[in-house]
A and B are shown apart, each in its own frame.
Chain A
Amino acid sequence: MADDLNRITTLLGDLEEDDLLVTVEEALSAGADPLAVVEACRNGMEIVGKRFSEQEYFVSELICSADLFQSVMEKVTPLLSATDNEGPRTKVVIGTVKDDIHDIGKDIVIAMLRCSGYEVYDLGINVPPEEFVNKVKETDAKIVGMSGLLTIAFSSMEETIKALKAAGLKVKTMIGGGMTNDMVCEKVGADGWGRDAMEAVNLVKTFSEVS
C-alpha cells in the first residue's frame, strides 16, 4: 500500500495523468485510506511547488497539477465519510477587486490553496469592498487575498483594505496580479504580495502560522 501511495506522489509530481488516475483507482480498490490518498497527492503537489521554485515547472504546469489534483479528489471525495475530518482548516477569502474582471491569476492561486488544504471562499471578479467585508464577517476568515491585473485595481485594493479595517476586522491581507510589487503593496497597505501562485500559498502559510 505504501508503494502505491509513494507512486501517487511521484506521478502527480511528474504530471502523469493516465498512470496517476489508474494508480489511484487501484489503491482505492485495494482498500487504501482515502485520506492517505489525499495526503499522497498533497506530497505530489509539494514536488510541483519545488520544481516551480526551481524553474523546472511554470504556470502551465501549476495549472495541470491543480487539474490532476481535482481529478483525484473527484474519485476520493465520495469515499470520504463524515468522520474523515482533517480538522479545522485555515479560511481564506479571495477575489478580484472592483473594476477588474481578470481571473486567471486568482483562479490559479485558489486551486493551489485548495490543493494545499486551505478552505477558500472565491468571491469572483469585480468584487466591491463591502463584499469582502461581508464574507469575512460571515466566515470568520483571517486571511483576505485580492487579485487584479490592471492598474485600476490598485485603488480598489486600497479601498478594500480600508473597508476591512473600518469594519474592525483583524485580517491579514495579501495582493497579487501582474502589476503588483513592493511599491504597490506598500501604497495600498497590504500585509504581503505574491509574485506567483506558490508565493501566495507560502504567504497564506506564514499568515496562518502567526494568526
Chain B
Amino acid sequence: MTNKGTMTNEERLRKTIRFEETDKILFYPAIMQFAAKYAGITQQEFMEDQGKADAAYEKTFVELGGWDVGRPMLGRGPGSDDPGMSGLAMSCGLPGRDFTNNTTMQFIEEEVMKPEDYDYIIDNGYFAFLKVLSERRNQGKPPMPEMSEDQKRAATEQQEQRIKRETEKWEKRGVANLMGGMGSIPPFDIFSINRSVSKFPMDVRRMPDKIKAAIETAMPEIIEQSLKELEASPGKRIGTAASRSSGTFISTKHFEQFVLPTWLDYVWAMADAGADIIFHCDCDWTRFLPYFKEFPAKRCLLQLDGATDIWKAREILKDHMAIQGDVPAPLLTLGTPDEVFSYCKKLIDEIGKEGGGFMLSAGCCTPDQSAIENVRAMARAGNEETWL
C-alpha cells in the first residue's frame, strides 16, 4: 500500500467513523489464519510458533501490497487459554491435536454453565462467577504449573513488551490499529455460548426474569472492566462482539427484552468515555438494524460478515453508523478473482463512494481456505480502487 494522500490511516479511520471527508476508503482484510496458507506453513505452526506466525503475517502484508487498518498479532499471553475476563469458557479443537495439522482452530460448543448459575451471578456478581467457571472448566485437567509472583510479573511484562513492540512496528508502517484490547461480549451471548445453544433457549422461556437480572448484574461490571481497558487502548477504540443475539437466533421481543437495554448502557458508557465503538456482528442482523440508530451517532463502526444485508444496513443507518464489510467467505474460497474484484468494486462504489463511512473488508475475517488469487483480487481493489 502506497500512501498517496496526506492523511495518516489513523486520521482516516477516525474520520471514516465520523463520516468526515477523507481521501481514501480504508482497506482492512482481517487477515488471520489465512497468513499461514499464504506463507506455506501449517495451521499448527501458525498457532504454536510465534516467530513463524509473525513472519507469515509479514510476508502476506508485503506481498499483497499491504493494508490500511489491522490488528497487531499479539500472540498468546499468560492465561490466554482461560475464560478469564472474556467470559468464554468453551474449549478449542486444535490443529495437530484434534485435527490434521493444517485444519484451523475451532471452538467446541459445550454446556459449561448450569441453570443455577444465574442465581450465583445475581448473588455474587459476574466476575466472581467467571472465576467459578474457570475452576469448573479446569476440573480434571492436569494442574497448571504454579507460577511465583515474580514469574507472573515477568510473563506479564514480556507480553506487554510484545504488544508495545508489535503496535509500534505497525504504526511505523502506517497501519492504523483498529482496537487495542479485546472489548466485550453482551452477557446474553456469553450465557448462550456457555449454556450451549440447545439449552439456553429453554432457559429464556423458563426463567426470563432471572436471566434478565443476571444480565443486569453483569453489565455494570463489564462496563467497569472495559473502561479500565480503554485507558490503555491505542486510538481509543473498543470492540463489542455478538452473534447469538442476532436476528438469526432470537425474536425482536427477546432482543428488546434481554439485549438492547444493557447493550445501550455499555456502548453509551464507552462513547461518554471518549471511545469509538467497533461492533463485530456475525450472523444476520438485518431485522435489528433500526435499533442501531439508538447507539451514538458517528461514533460506531459496524462490522458485517455477509449474512446481514449490507445495502439495507446503509439504507437504514445512513450516516448514523459507519459500516465495514463484507466480502463473503464462500466467494473468497470458491469464487473467481474477477468475481471477488467486482464485488469489492460494487461495495466501494455503491456504499463507500456514495455515502462515506465505509471500510472495505472480508466478512468476519479472510478464511484460511480462501484462494490466494481471490485475496490478491480483494487487496487490489482495496489498495487501488479506494482513492477518492
Q: Contact residues of A with B, CB < 8 Å?
A: 15, 17, 55-61, 63-64, 67, 99-104, 107, 126, 150-152, 154-155, 178-181, 183-184, 187
Shortest Cβ distance from B345 into chain A, in angstroms? 19
The stretch of B1-9, B201-209, B263-271, B349-357 in contact with A is B201-209
Residues of the A chain whose Cβ atoms lie less than 8 Å from the Cβ of B197: 59, 63, 104
A64 touches B205 (CB 8 A): yes
Contact (Cβ within 8 A) A150 B251? no
CB distance from A151 to the nearest CB of B (A): 4
Q: Which residue of A lies closest to B249 (CB)?
A: A59
* Beta-carbon contact of B205 and A15 below 8 Å: yes
> Beyond the given A58-B248, A183-B330, could you list 14 further A-B residue pairs with CB under 8 A, ordered by the A residue number?
A55-B287, A59-B197, A60-B200, A60-B250, A61-B251, A63-B201, A100-B106, A101-B98, A126-B99, A151-B367, A151-B369, A179-B333, A183-B335, A187-B334
What string of 1s and 0s marks CB contacts (under 8 Å) between B294-331 and chain A? Answer: 00000000000001000000000000000000001111
Contacts of B206 in A (CB 8 A): 17
Instruction: Tell which of B200, B202, B307, B334 touches A183, judged by Cβ atoms closer than 8 Å.
Output: B334
Render B91-122 as a binary contact track against A, CB cut-off 8 A, 1 for contact.
00100001110011010110000000000000
Q: A17–B334 contact, CB under 8 A?
A: no
Q: Which residues of B contact A67 (CB under 8 A)?
A: 198, 201-202
Q: Given A60-B254, A152-B103: A183 and B201 within 8 A (CB)? A: no
Q: Which A residues lie within 8 Å of B334 (CB)?
A: 154, 183-184, 187
Contact of A150 among B198, B201, B249, B369 (CB under 8 A): B369
Note all chain A residues with C-beta closer than 8 A to B283: 178
Q: Are B368 and A152 in contact (CB under 8 A)?
A: yes
> A150 touching B106 by the CB < 8 A rule?
yes
Check B370 against A151 for contact (C-beta < 8 Å). Answer: yes
**Within the assembled complex, what's the spacing in Å between the Cα atoms of A107 and B199?**
12
In the assembled complex, 25 residue pairs joining A and B whose CB atoms fall closer than 8 Å, in A order, are A15-B205, A17-B202, A17-B206, A56-B251, A58-B250, A59-B197, A59-B250, A60-B200, A60-B249, A60-B250, A60-B251, A63-B197, A63-B201, A63-B202, A64-B201, A67-B198, A102-B106, A103-B109, A104-B197, A151-B332, A152-B369, A154-B334, A179-B328, A183-B334, A187-B334
B247 at the interface (CB under 8 A from A): yes
Q: How far is the CA of A140 from the CA of B98 in the complex (A)?
A: 31
User: Which residues of B are at the interface with A, using a C-beta cutoff of 8 A?
Assistant: 93, 98-100, 103-104, 106, 108-109, 197-198, 200-202, 204-206, 247-251, 254, 283, 287, 307, 328-335, 367-370
A184 to B328, CA, bound (A): 12
Residues of B contacting A102 in the complex (Cβ-Cβ under 8 angstroms)? 106, 109
Contacts of B332 in A (CB 8 A): 151
Q: Is the CB of A63 within 8 A of B106?
A: no
Whether the Cβ atoms of A17 and B205 lie closer than 8 Å is: yes
Tell me, rounded to whole Å, the shortest Cβ–Cβ distance linking B286 to chain A.
11
Given contacts A57-B251, A99-B100, A102-B106, contact A151 B330 (CB under 8 A): yes
Which residues of chain A are within 8 angstroms of B204 by Cβ–Cβ distance? 60
A195 to B: closest C-beta gap in Å: 10
B330 pairs with A181, CB closer than 8 A: yes
Minimal Cβ-Cβ distance residue in A for B103? A99
Question: Which residues of B are found within 8 Å of A180, using beta-carbon distances?
Answer: 330
Interface pairs A-B: 6 shortest CB-CB: A60-B201, A151-B369, A151-B367, A151-B333, A99-B103, A63-B201
Most buried by A among B106, B108, B283, B307: B106
Residues of A within 8 A of B329 (CB): 151, 179
Q: Select which of B104, B307, B369 is within 8 A of A154 by beta carbon.
A: B369
In the complex, A188→B307 CA distance in Å?
Answer: 21
Given A59-B249, A151-B370, A154-B369, verify A99-B330 contact (CB < 8 Å): no
Contacts of A61 in B (CB 8 A): 201, 251
* Contact partners of B106 in chain A: CB under 8 A: 100-102, 150
Contact A154 B109 (CB under 8 A): no
Closest-CB distance, A182 to chain B (whole angstroms)? 9
Q: CA of A108 to CA of B104 in the docked complex: distance in angstroms?
A: 24
CA gap between A67 and B197 in the complex, in Å: 12
CB distance from B169 to the nearest CB of A (A): 29
A104 contacts B251, C-beta separation under 8 Å? no
The closest CB in chain B to the CB of A188 belongs to: B334
Q: Which of A17, A63, A107, A187 has the largest count of B CB atoms less than 10 A from its CB?
A: A63
State A206–B251 Cα separation when bound (angstroms). 29
B288: min CB distance to chain A, Å: 11
Nearest CB of A to B312, in Å: 15
